[in-house]
Amino acid sequence: MSELKEQTRKKARLSVYFNKRLASYYWERLKKHKLAMAGLGFIGFLILLAVLGPFFTQDPTYSDFNIANMPPLGFSRQESVYDIKTDEFTTTVISGRLDHPLGTDSKGRDMLSMLISGARISLLVGLIATGIAIFIGSLIGVLSAYLGGWVDNVLMRFTDIMMTFPFFLLLVLIVFLFGPSLAIIVVVIGLTGWTGAARLIRSEALSLRTRDFITASRALGASDGRVMFNHLIPNVASLIIVMSTLSIPGVIMAEAALSFIGMGDPLSTSWGTILNAGQHTLDTAWWVAVEPGIMLFLTVLSFNFFGDGLRDAFDPRAII
Amino acid sequence: MRNYIIKRLFYSVIIAWGILTVTFILLRIGPSSPVDRYILNIAARGSDVESVRQAIEARYGLDKPLLEQYFDYMGNLLQGNWGWSFSASMPVMDLIGSHWIYSFQLILLSTIFAILLGIGLGVLSAVKQNTRFDYAASIFSFIGISIPNFWLGLMLIMAFAVNLGMFKTYYDTSYSIWSLENLRQLILPVLALGTGELAGYVRYTRSSMLDNLHKEFVTTARAKGLPERTVIGKHVFRNAMLPLVTIIMFDLGSVVFGGAYLTEIVFGIPGLGQVSFNAIFANDYAVVVAVTLISTFLVLFINLATDILYTYLDPRIRYE
Amino acid sequence: MHITKGERCCAILTATTLVLLSLAGCTTTVKQEAKGTFIEGDVAGGEAETLNWILAADASSFAYAGYTVESLASYDNNFNVVLRCLAKDIEVSPDGLAYTITIRDDLRWSNNSPVTAEDYVYTLKNLMFSDWLNYNYREDWMEEFGGKKVFVTPEVINQTTFTITRKTVQPEFIYTLYDLIPYPKYISVKYEGDVEKFTQAREFNELSYTGNLGPYKFKEWLKNDKFVLERNPDFFLGKDNGAPYFQQYIIKVLGTSAVMQAALEAGDITYCGIEPHNVAKFKKMDRINVYTIPTRGYNIISYNQRANGWEGLRRKEVRQAISMAVDKETIVRRIYLGFAEPAYSFIPSSSPWYTDDTVLKLGVAPLNSKQKAMEMLRSAGYEYTKNGDKNILLDKSGQPVKLLLVTTPGSDVVESMSLLIKQELSDIGIDVEVKWVQWSTLLRQYMMNKVPGSDQELRYNNGPEAVSEEPWDLSLMGHNTDPMAPSGSAVFFASDGGLNSFGFFNDEVDQLFHKIRSKDGLDKTARAGMYGQLARLISEEQPVDFLTFTRANVGFQKNVKGIEPGINMGYNSYLWRFE
C-alpha cells in the first residue's frame, strides 16, 4: 500500500518535470518555426559529426610534414623550397587532394578531422560550461526569490560584483594563472557566466511567488524545499531551457576567443586554436583561418535560431 | 533620489574594492614571476637565474609578504598613486593616459554606428512587419550576432586590405586622432566590432516597437487622427526606447573588455585592452588592477546613469 | 627581429672583408643628405621592457637603447672589431690580466659635458657592481678567485683612459668589455642608492642624457605600437659624413607576421623579417631586396640524464641512436623550407671557431638511418617486439618504451618540431608523448631540480643527484649562441653549469671549457684547437640533440642603400640611406 503511494508520488513528481502532452504541444509549435528547425538540424548534424566523425577520419593530431599547407580540393598553391648550398629554389605546385578534402594546416594535419575534433570540443565546452552556469544561476535565482530578505540581498550583491567584473579579463587572468587546460576553461566560464541567468530566473520566480498555487501549497503545509522543487522550478523550467540554449553560443565564442589569443588548451584541437594558427598564414594558407570560422559561425547561428524558436514556442502569447 | 544615488555610490565603492582585492590576490598568488620571460637571456649570459629573479622581485617589492604588498598598494592608491608599471617602465597612469584614447574612439565609433543603424533598421523592420525587408533584416541580425567579431575582423582584413589593397593591414598611429585618415582606417575595426552590437539592436528595437505598436495609447493616437509619422515617431518610438537604453548601456560595459580587446589585437590597435592583457602575461599587477578598477567604475557608473536616465524617460519610475 | 648591434669578434681577415671595408670607406667620404623615415617592422612580443637598460633582462631593451648610445666597439659581419667610443683598440697586457681602454675625447652628454673614463668606471663600480642596483649581468664582471667570486678592478688613469684588472685569465672577457656603455655620472649620483628612484628616473626612461653618443635620439614610445627615434645631428661618427641619413627611425610593432609582410609588400614599412614560405614571392618583387643571413639561434632536444628520466638516456649509445633517427634535413626542408642548416654542436658554422671536419654529423646522411639507429639500440641491449608491422622498443623490464617530451606552446616552429620528432621516433619503435606546459611550469616543475629529500633551494642544476619535481625524458627548446665566445655555453654543458638542467656531467668537457677560459686559451690558434676538440666531444656525447641553426630572411625596400647583409648587418645601420 505505502509502496504504491510512493510510486504514484514519484510519478507525480516526474510529471511535474515532464508532461508528455505539454511537450508535444511545444514541439508542434516549434516545428512551425523554420529557422529553429534548420538550427536544430545543424546542431543534430554537428552532434553526429562529433560522435561518429572520429571513426571515419584520421587522427586530428597526426601530422605529415610532406603535405603541409595543402589547399582544399579544387584549389592549388605554389611552394618553394630553398637550397642553402646552391642558393636556388625548387618550386612545386601543390593541389588539393581527395584524401584531404578541406586541405591541411602548416603541420600537415588534416583540416577535416581537426574541424570535427573542434566540433566535439565546442559542443562539450558549450554544454558543460552552460550546464554549470545555468545550475548556479537557477539555484541563486530561485533561492534569492523564494527566501527573500537578507539572503536575497547578499546573493544579489554578490551577483552584482560578478556582473561588474570584466568577464574576459578575468577569464584570461585565471587561465593564465592556472594553465590552459580544457577543464579549467570550462569551469571558469561556468563559474563566471551565471549572473544573467540568476537575475532573470529570480525575477521570474519573484512574480511566481505571489501566485495562488504557491500560496495554496504553502497554506497546505508544504516545506520550502517542496515548494521550490515541485512548484517554483518546474514553472521556470521553460525559461531555464531557453536561457541555456541561448547562452551556449556565448560560451562557445568565449572558448574560441580564448584559444584565438593563444590561451587555449594546447592538447586539444578546437576551432579557436586552428584560427589562432590560421591568422599567421592568412597570406599563404587562407583556408586554415576561413574554415574553422565558418564552422564557428554556423554553430553559433544554429543555437541562436533554435533558442529563438524555443522561446517563441514556450511563450503562450507568441503567435506562430 | 539623492539618498538613492548616495547609496548606490557607496555600493559601487564596495564592489570596486572587492574586485580590486580579488584581482590583486589572484595576480600575486600565481606561480609565475615577471622574470620568467627572460630566463634564457639571463642564463645565456652566464648569470645565476635565481639570484637575478630575487633581485628583480626585490626591486619591485614583490618579495614582501602578500599582505604587506596589498596594504602598500592600497595606501598608495588612496593617495592617488596608481603605482609603477614594471613591464612598461612608466607610471601606470601615464601608460593608461597614452593608450585609453585608442580604445575609446573605437568603442565610441562602433557604438554610434551600431545605435544609429541598428535602431533605424529595427524601426523600419517593425513598421514593415512581415515584409521582405523585415525578413531580410531579421536574417541579417541573426548573422550579425552569430559571427565571431575576431574572425570577421580577420576576414575583412583578408578581403579589403590584403586582397583588394583598399586599407592598410594594420592601424597606423602616425595619423592624428582627429584626421580623416584616422577615421578612414577605423572603418574595418568599427565594422568588425560594431556588427554584433548593430545586429542586437535591430532585434531589440524591432520587438520593442512591435510590443508598443499594439498598445492602447497607439490606437488612441491613431483614432485622434494624428499622422502615422507622429504616431510612430513620437508615441511608439519613445516608449520603445526605454528597454533599449538598458541594453545599450549594458553592451557598452561588456564591449570594453571583450570584443574591443579582440578587435584591438586583430587590427593592431594599441588600446587599453592590449595594454592590460600584456600586463597579465608580464605579471604586472599594478596595471591589471588599475585597468580592472577603471573598467569596474565605468560599468558601475553606466549602471547608475541608466537608472537615473530611466526616471527622465519614464516618469512613472521613482527610486527611494 | 632586431638588427643586432654589438657582436663579438675574432680577427680573421678574409678577402671579402677587405672588399666590404673598402666599400664602407667609399661611403664615408661622400657627404649625404639625410631624408625620410626608416620603419622597421617587428612582431608583437619582441618589444623592449625598459629604456633604463641597466635594469633590463631582455635583449630588446639593449637593442632599443643601442640606437641612442654606442658601445665601446661593435663587430662587422666577419666579427672584426669596429671601434665606436674607443679611440684605439683595447690593449691587453701580455699576461692577459690587465686591460687598458682609451675612449675618444669628443664624446658628450646632453649637458655638453664630456664623457670621461670616470663615467665608465663609475658605471661599473657604483652601478653594475653595487648591491642596491642588482645589475642582472654582474656575473659577466666577476671571476673566481680564492674560492670566492669577486669583481674585476676598474681604475681611472686619466680623462680618457681607464684600466680593468683581473686576477685570473679569461681570454673571452674582452668581448664583455667591448659591449660596455656608460651611464652619466652627473645624473646617476642623484639616484644612487635608491633603486626605486633610479628605476623611475625620467632622464633614464626617456634617454634624455645621450648627447652625441648615438645616431638617433629618443622621441616617443607608444607601448605595443611604436618606438620613435629622430636623427641626432651631433652624432660623433657623423661629423665628417653627415650620418645618419634618416630623419626618423621607427620600430613598429605589428600583430602577426602575415600583417607585417603585407605591410612590407604595400611599402608601408621599410624593413622586416620574412617568413620562409614568403621568401620566394618577395624575391620576385621589383621593389624589395631579400637577404638570407645566418642567425645565432639553434634548437635542441635535451635528453634528461637525471635519475627521473628514462634510464637509457644516461647511455651515450642510446642518445646517439635517437639523434640518428631524427632527420635534420627533413626539419630543414619541411619546417624551415630550406632556411636552416643542421647543427652538430653549439658552435654555428658562422662562428670563427667552427670546424667542420671533426664533428660527428648525427642526423644527417650517412649518419641518419632508422635502421642503424635500431641496430644501435639492439646492441645497447634493448629488444624489439612487433605489433602488426610496427616495431616497438622494449626497455630492460620488457615494457614498451614511452618517452615524455615537454615543451611550451606558442611557437609554431617548436610545435612543428615536436610533432615531427614524435613521428621520427615512432619509426624506431619509441612512443613519444608530447606534453605542452606553460613556460613558468616548464621551468619550475621540469627544469629546476634538487636532491630529493634535501632542503636545497630549487635551482636549474643542483648537482648529479638532483631531480626535477616531475619526471621527463625529452624537452625541446630554442637557444642562442654567441659565435664569438661560444664558451658561454658552459652554462648548459659544464658540470657546474647553472642551466645544466638535463644533468650532463663529463670531466673532459669541463676541462676543455676551463682550458678555453684560461691562460691556455690566450693563443687564438690553441683556442681554436680546443673548440674543435670540444665540438667533437659534444657531438659524440650528445648531451642534447642539436637540431638546426636557423637562417633569417630580411626584406628591405629597394631604395635603401648601404646594407651589408650578414650576421651583424646592423653594425653599419647609421650609414644606411634612401636613394
B89 found inside a domain? no
Break chain B down into helix, strand, coil percent, rounded to 5: 75, 0, 20
B4 found inside a domain? no
**Residues from chain A contacting residue B295 (CB–CB below 8 Å):** 166, 169
Please list the residues that pair with C161 across neighbouring strands: C102, C158
Do the chains contact at A84 and C258, CB–CB below 8 Å?
no
CA distance B288 to B280: 6
CA distance C50 to chain B (A): 6
Instruction: Report the first-to-last Cα separation within chain A, whole angstroms.
Output: 47
Comparing CB atoms, the residue among B19, B148, B280 nearest residue A176 is: B280
Q: Do B144 and B258 fall within a single domain?
A: yes
Determine contact, residues B228/B204, Cβ cutoff 8 Å: no
Q: Do B30 and B176 fall within a single domain?
A: no
CA distance B26 to chain C (A): 16
Amino acid B34: pLDDT? 73
Amino acid C388: pLDDT? 83
Measured in residues, chain A has a length of 320
Determine contact, residues C373/C428, Cβ cutoff 8 Å: yes
- Confirm or reject contact between C411 and chain B (CB < 8 A): no
In the numeric block, which cell numbers belong to residue B98?
Answer: 597614452
pLDDT tens for each residue of chain A, 320 residues long: 456 666 666 665 555 556 677 778 888 888 888 888 999 999 999 999 999 888 888 888 888 888 888 999 999 888 889 988 888 899 889 898 888 999 999 888 999 999 999 999 999 999 999 999 999 998 998 888 888 888 988 898 888 888 877 788 888 888 888 878 899 999 999 988 888 888 888 888 887 777 777 778 777 777 777 777 777 777 778 888 888 888 899 899 999 999 888 888 877 889 998 998 888 887 788 899 999 999 999 999 999 999 888 888 887 666 55
B92 found inside a domain? no
Q: Which of residues 46-105 of B touch C (CB under 8 A)?
A: 46-50, 52, 55-56, 58-59, 84, 86-91, 95, 98-99
Residue with cell 632599443: C64
CA distance A297 to chain C (A): 23
Comparing CB atoms, the residue among C44, C50, C479 nearest residue B40 is: C479
In the numeric block, which cell numbers belong to residue B116?
Answer: 544609429
**Residues from chain A contacting residue B30 (CB–CB below 8 Å):** 176-177
Q: How far is CA C566 from the centre of its chain?
A: 15
Q: Do B268 and B308 fall within a single domain?
A: yes
CA distance A234 to chain C (A): 45
CA distance B258 to chain A (A): 5
Determine contact, residues B218/B235, Cβ cutoff 8 Å: yes
Do the chains contact at B56 and C136, CB–CB below 8 Å?
yes
- DSSP assignment of chain A: -HHHHHHHHHHHHHHHH--HHHHHHHHHHHHT-HHHHHHHHHHHHHHHHHHHHHHHS--TT---GGGTTPPPTT-EEEEEEEETTTTEEEEEEEE--TTSTT-B-TT--BHHHHHHHHHHHHHHHHHHHHHHHHHHHHHHHHHHHHH-HHHHHHHHHHHHHHHHS-HHHHHHHHHHHH---HHHHHHHHHHHTTHHHHHHHHHHHHHHHTSHHHHHHHHTT--HHHIIIIIIHHHHHHHHHHHHHHHHHHHHHHHHHHHHTT-S-TTS--HHHHHHHHGGGTTT-HHHHHHHHHHHHHHHHHHHHHHHHHHHHH-TT---
Q: End of a domain among B36, B55, B81?
A: B81
Q: Do B160 and B295 fall within a single domain?
A: yes
Amino acid C432: pLDDT? 94
Please tell me which chains touch C, using 3 or more CB pairs under 8 Å as the contact test: A, B
How many domains does chain B fold into? 2
CA distance C265 to C287: 8
The CB density around residue B67, as the number of other CB atoms within 10 Å, is 8
Q: Do B49 and B119 fall within a single domain?
A: no
CA distance C486 to C147: 25
B91 found inside a domain? no
Do the chains contact at B31 and A282, CB–CB below 8 Å?
no
Phi, psi at residue A27, to the nearest 5°? -60, -45
Cα–Cα separations (whole angstroms), residue C212 to A8, A291, C89, C114: 95, 55, 21, 10
- Confirm or reject contact between A57 and chain C (CB < 8 A): no
Q: What digits encode the pLDDT tens for the residues C190-205? A: 999 998 899 999 999 9
Q: Is the pLDDT of residue C463 over 80?
A: yes
Cα torsion C361, C362, C364, C370 to 10°: value is 160
Residue B187's CATH number: 1.10.3720.10
CA distance C163 to C154: 6
CA distance A223 to A215: 12
Amino acid B61: pLDDT? 80
Do the chains contact at A80 and C337, CB–CB below 8 Å?
yes
Determine contact, residues A102/A291, Cβ cutoff 8 Å: yes
Average pLDDT over residues C152-169: 96
Do the chains contact at B268 and C253, CB–CB below 8 Å?
yes
B66 found inside a domain? yes
Amino acid B49: pLDDT? 75
Share of chain B above pLDDT 90, in %: 21
Residue with cell 608583437: C44
Cα–Cα separations (whole angstroms), residue A170 to A159, B293, C374, C410, C432: 15, 12, 50, 21, 35
**Residues from chain B contacting residue C441 (CB–CB below 8 Å):** 31
Please list, residue by residue across C68-107, b when 16 or more beta carbons sit within 10 angstroms of its beta carbon and e when fewer do: bbbbbbbbbbbbbbbbbbbeebbebeeebbebebbbbeeb
Q: Do B61 and B132 fall within a single domain?
A: no
Comparing CB atoms, the residue among A61, A179, A277 nearest residue C438 is: A179
Determine contact, residues C419/C334, Cβ cutoff 8 Å: no
pLDDT band for position B273 (cuts 50, 70, 90): confident
B5 found inside a domain? no
Q: Which domain holds residue B105?
A: 99-313
Q: Do B170 and B233 fall within a single domain?
A: yes
Annotated domain spans of chain A: 20-69+104-314, 73-101
Please list the residues that pair with A88 across neighbouring strands: A83
- A245-254, B205-214, C183-192, C307-316: range with lowest mean pLDDT: B205-214
Q: What digits encode the pLDDT tens for the residues C72-110? A: 999 999 999 999 999 999 999 999 999 999 999 999 999
**Residues from chain C contacting residue B161 (CB–CB below 8 Å):** 262
B90 found inside a domain? no
pLDDT band for position C22 (cuts 50, 70, 90): very low
Q: Do B195 and B307 fall within a single domain?
A: yes
CA distance B275 to chain C (A): 7
Please list the residues that pair with C188 across neighbouring strands: none
Which amino acid, residue A1? M
Q: What digits encode the pLDDT tens for the residues C321-330? A: 999 999 999 9
Do the chains contact at B169 and C440, CB–CB below 8 Å?
no
Q: What digits encode the pLDDT tens for the residues B12-22? A: 888 888 888 88
**Residues from chain B contacting residue A161 (CB–CB below 8 Å):** 15, 18-19
Cα–Cα separations (whole angstroms), residue C381 to A192, C312, C375: 55, 10, 10
Which amino acid, residue C457? E
CA distance C359 to chain B (A): 23
Q: Is the pLDDT of residue C566 over 60?
A: yes
The CATH T-level fold of domain A20-69+104-314 is MetI-like fold (1.10.3720)
What are the start-end ranges of the H helices in C207-313?
Answer: 257-266, 279-284
**Residues from chain C contacting residue A106 (CB–CB below 8 Å):** 412, 416
DSSP-derived 3-state class of residue C136: coil
CA distance A36 to chain B (A): 12
Cα–Cα separations (whole angstroms), residue B74 to B25, B68, B78, C72, C185: 13, 10, 6, 45, 35
- Confirm or reject contact between C219 and chain B (CB < 8 A): no
Q: Is the pLDDT of residue B145 over 50?
A: yes
- DSSP assignment of C22-44: HHHHHHHHSPPPP-SEEEEEEET
Q: Do B63 and B207 fall within a single domain?
A: no
B9 found inside a domain? no
Cα torsion A58, A59, A64, A65 to 10°: value is 120
CA distance C51 to C199: 10
Q: Tell me the pTM.
A: 0.86
**Residues from chain B contacting residue C139 (CB–CB below 8 Å):** 45-48
Q: Do B197 and B234 fall within a single domain?
A: yes
The interface pTM score, or ipTM, of the predicted complex is 0.85
CA distance B106 to B112: 10
Q: What digits encode the pLDDT tens for the residues C450-462? A: 999 898 888 889 9
Q: Beta strand C474-480 with C161-165: parallel, antiparallel or unpaired?
A: unpaired
Q: End of a domain among B34, B53, B81?
A: B81
- A75-79, B32-36, C407-411: range with lowest mean pLDDT: B32-36
Name the E strands within B46-110.
Answer: 84-85, 90-91
CA distance C249 to C263: 17
| Nearest alpha-carbon partner for B38 in B95, B87, B91, B83 | B87
Comparing CB atoms, the residue among B48, B49, B169 nearest residue C262 is: B169
Do the chains contact at A282 and B265, CB–CB below 8 Å?
no
- Mean per-residue pLDDT over chain B, rounded: 84
Query: Which residues are CB-neighbours of C94 under 8 A, at least 6 positions away?
Result: none
CA distance B265 to chain A (A): 8
CA distance C507 to C520: 18
Name the E strands within B230-290.
Answer: none
Do the chains contact at C412 and A106, CB–CB below 8 Å?
yes
CA distance A277 to chain C (A): 8
CA angle, residues C369, C371, C376, in degrees to nearest 5: 95
Closest CA in chain C for residue B32: C440
Comparing CB atoms, the residue among C58, C259, C440 nearest residue B41 is: C58
The residues on C that touch A, with CB distances below 8 Å, are 256-259, 261-262, 276-280, 283, 292, 330, 333-335, 337-339, 341, 409-410, 412, 415-416, 419-420, 423, 436-438, 441, 551
Cα torsion A280, A284, A290, A292 to 10°: value is -60
State the count of interchain CB pairs (< 8 A) between B and C.
134
Amino acid C425: pLDDT? 94
What are the start-end ranges of the H helices in C267-303?
Answer: 279-284
Closest CA in chain C for residue B55: C134
Q: Do B121 and B176 fall within a single domain?
A: yes
Do the chains contact at B256 and A305, CB–CB below 8 Å?
no
